[in-house]
Chain A
Amino acid sequence: MIRRSLMQTSIAGLFWEDTAYEDMGATPGAFGRGLLIVVIVGLILGLTGAVGRLLAWASTPDMVAVKDTVYQGLTQMPWYSDAARSGTFVTKFREGFDTWWQVARFFWPSPGSALLSLVTTPLVLLVRWFLYGLLAFIFARLLGGRASLAVHYGVLSLAAVPQVLNAVQIVPGAQAGGVFFWALISSYLALKKAHGLPPRRAFWAAVLPYVTVLLLMGFLFCIGGFLLSAMIGGAR
Chain B
Amino acid sequence: MNAMALSLSGILTLKTEAFQAWRDAPQVFRRAFVLLVVVGLIIGVVSAAVTTVRSFRQPPELVIRQAMEEALRGIDQGFASGNAPPEFRRIFRESFRQGFEMGLRIAGLPTILPRPATILLRGLAILLSSALGLIGFLLVYSGLTQIFARSMGGQGTIQQQVGVGALSSIPQAITALTPLLDVIPLAGGCLTFLVGLLAIAWSIAIYVKATAVVHGLDTGRAAAAVVLPAITLGTLAVVLSCLVIAFIVAAIAVAA
Residues of A within 8 A of B (CB): 15-17, 55, 57-62, 65-66, 69-70, 72-74, 76-79, 82, 165, 168, 171-179, 181-182, 184-185, 188-189, 199, 203, 222, 225-226, 229-230, 232-233
Asked if B4 CB lies within 8 Å of chain A CBs, one says no
Tell me whether B150 and A199 are in contact (CB under 8 A).
yes
Tell me whether A175 and B133 are in contact (CB under 8 A).
yes
Whole-angstrom CA separation of A18 from B77 in the bound complex: 62
Contacts of B247 in A (CB 8 A): 222, 225
Asked if B241 CB lies within 8 Å of chain A CBs, one says no
Whole-angstrom CA separation of A177 from B138 in the bound complex: 10
Tell me whether A181 and B136 are in contact (CB under 8 A).
yes
Whole-angstrom CA separation of A58 from B113 in the bound complex: 5
Whole-angstrom CA separation of A176 from B136 in the bound complex: 8
Whole-angstrom CA separation of A69 from B101 in the bound complex: 10
Contact residues of B between 29 and 50, Cβ < 8 Å to A: 29-30, 33
Whole-angstrom CA separation of A188 from B71 in the bound complex: 49
Contacts of B124 in A (CB 8 A): 171, 174
Question: Nearest 3 CB-CB pairs, A to B?
Answer: A177-B136, A178-B136, A73-B102
Asked if B135 CB lies within 8 Å of chain A CBs, one says yes
Tell me whether A233 and B95 are in contact (CB under 8 A).
no
Main secondary structure of the interface of B (DSSP, over half): helix
| A59 with B118, Cβ < 8 A, contacts A173-B125, A182-B139 known | yes
Tell me whether A61 and B256 are in contact (CB under 8 A).
no
Asked if B14 CB lies within 8 Å of chain A CBs, one says no
Asked if B231 CB lies within 8 Å of chain A CBs, one says no
Tell me whether B111 and A82 are in contact (CB under 8 A).
no
Beta-carbon nearest neighbor of A175 in chain B? B129
Asked if B98 CB lies within 8 Å of chain A CBs, one says yes
Contact residues of B between 127 and 161, Cβ < 8 Å to A: 128-129, 132-140, 143, 147, 150, 158-159
Whole-angstrom CA separation of A181 from B121 in the bound complex: 27
Tell me whether A66 and B109 are in contact (CB under 8 A).
yes
Tell me whether B125 and A171 are in contact (CB under 8 A).
yes
Whole-angstrom CA separation of A10 from B133 in the bound complex: 22
Contacts of B27 in A (CB 8 A): 15, 17
Given known contacts A73-B105, A175-B133, A229-B251, what 4 new A-B pairs fall within 8 Å (CB)?
A15-B30, A73-B98, A175-B129, A176-B136
Tell me whether B158 and A165 are in contact (CB under 8 A).
no
Tell me whether A61 and B106 are in contact (CB under 8 A).
yes
Contacts of A74 in B (CB 8 A): 102
A62's partner among B109, B132, B133 (CB-CB below 8 A) is B109
Whole-angstrom CA separation of A60 from B99 in the bound complex: 19
Whole-angstrom CA separation of A207 from B174 in the bound complex: 37
Q: How far is the CB of A189 from chain B (nearest CB, A)?
A: 7
Q: C-beta contact mask, B62-91 vs A, less than 8 Å → 1, else 0? A: 000000000000000000000000000011
Asked if B3 CB lies within 8 Å of chain A CBs, one says no
B128's partner among A174, A222, A229, A232 (CB-CB below 8 A) is A174
B140's partner among A55, A73, A178 (CB-CB below 8 A) is A178
Tell me whether B132 and A176 are in contact (CB under 8 A).
yes
Contact residues of B between 170 and 189, Cβ < 8 Å to A: none
Contacts of B220 in A (CB 8 A): none
Contacts of B254 in A (CB 8 A): 226, 229-230, 233
A73's partner among B94, B101, B252 (CB-CB below 8 A) is B101
Whole-angstrom CA separation of A74 from B90 in the bound complex: 16
Whole-angstrom CA separation of A58 from B111 in the bound complex: 6
Contacts of A73 in B (CB 8 A): 98-99, 101-102, 105
Whole-angstrom CA separation of A78 from B95 in the bound complex: 6
Contacts of A172 in B (CB 8 A): 121, 125
Q: How far is the CB of B147 from chain A (nearest CB, A)?
A: 8
Tell me whether A77 and B94 are in contact (CB under 8 A).
yes
B106's partner among A55, A66, A199, A222 (CB-CB below 8 A) is A66
Whole-angstrom CA separation of A78 from B137 in the bound complex: 45
Contacts of B110 in A (CB 8 A): 61
Contacts of B252 in A (CB 8 A): 229
